[in-house]
């Protein structure tokens, strides 16, 4: 389920998760997830682990860019609705309920224990008795840093270059180049864009190489 046409598994705004197509998709995702999380790295040279995991991740997710690494355990729901950009690092225990599309941009870093939850339930008791769920897409744009134990709720977009503090619950969009935190998450300050940082003579990172 790693080809682009599998993204058609995307559900309507309201759906029953027990329909055969969704049950089958989650069943396949569980098998691919186990392959990824249970990889015995003792049998692989250390310099081959990165590429081996990337190939397994590309079988599990809809699309994954070069240079991206996800520490296991990784817990997706469907997998095929997840798009991850290039040169991302995602730490242990990422949970993604990808009923709807979940898009992670380039050079995003995500701390431990984060939940990206595109699925939800109405407050109506009758809706739950009738197995009604809903899904809205989540977008995390390029160059974001998501701290440990952050929860991102359905329909949220986190703007380019933003930092979300550990333990936050993100219920609404975060503008680009923001530092936000809290439950609910609120913007505390704005920061320079990377272009502005590169032009700032007082920026300590301007001349730092990747190898530093």
Domains parsed from the chain with CATH numbers: 4-188 (2.160.10.10)
CA 210 – CA 4 distance, rounded (Å): 32
Q: Residue 3: what pLDDT? A: 40
Q: Which band of pLDDT confidence, cut at 50, 70 and 90, is reported for residue 210?
A: low
- pLDDT mean over 137-149: 98
Q: Which band of pLDDT confidence, cut at 50, 70 and 90, is reported for residue 12?
A: low
Q: Residue 211: what pLDDT? A: 66
Q: Residue 1: what pLDDT? A: 38
pLDDT in tens, 48-74: 999 999 999 999 999 999 999 999 999
Query: Residue 30 CB: number of other CB atoms within 10 A?
Result: 13
9 pLDDT more than 50: yes
Q: Residue 81: what pLDDT? A: 95
Average pLDDT across the chain, whole number? 92
Q: Residue 174: what pLDDT? A: 98
11 pLDDT more than 70: no
Q: Residue 173: what pLDDT? A: 98
pLDDT in tens, 154-197: 999 999 999 999 999 999 999 999 999 999 999 999 999 989 98
State whether the Cα torsion 94-99-100-101 is positive or negative: positive
Q: Residue 69: what pLDDT? A: 97
Query: Residue 14 CB: number of other CB atoms within 10 A?
Result: 11
Active-site residue identified among 121, 136, 207, 212? 121
For this structure, is 212 an active site residue? no
């Amino acid at each position: 389920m790693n080809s682009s046409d599998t993204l058609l598994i995307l559900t309507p705004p309201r759906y029953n998760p027990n329909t055969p197509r969704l049950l089958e998709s989650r069943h396949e995702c569980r098998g691919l997830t186990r392959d990824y999380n249970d990889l015995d790295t003792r049998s692989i040279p250390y310099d081959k682990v990165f590429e081996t995991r990337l190939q397994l991740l590309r079988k599990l997710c809809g699309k994954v860019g070069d240079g991206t690494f996800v520490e296991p355990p990784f817990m997706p729901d469907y997998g095929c609705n997840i798009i991850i950009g290039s040169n991302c690092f995602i730490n242990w225990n990422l949970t993604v309920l990808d009923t709807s599309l979940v898009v992670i941009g380039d050079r995003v870093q995500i701390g431990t224990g984060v939940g990206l939850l595109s699925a939800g339930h109405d407050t109506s008791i009758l809706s739950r008795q009738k197995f009604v769920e809903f899904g809205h897409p989540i977008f995390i744009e390029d160059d974001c840093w998501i701290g440990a134990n952050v929860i991102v709720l359905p329909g949220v977009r986190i703007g380019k270059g933003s930092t979300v503090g550990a333990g936050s619950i993100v219920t609404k969009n975060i503008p680009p180049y923001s530092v936000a935190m809290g439950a609910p998450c609120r913007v505390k300050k704005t920061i320079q864009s990377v272009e502005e940082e590169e032009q700032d003579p007082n920026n300590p990172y301007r001349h730092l190489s990747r190898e530093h």
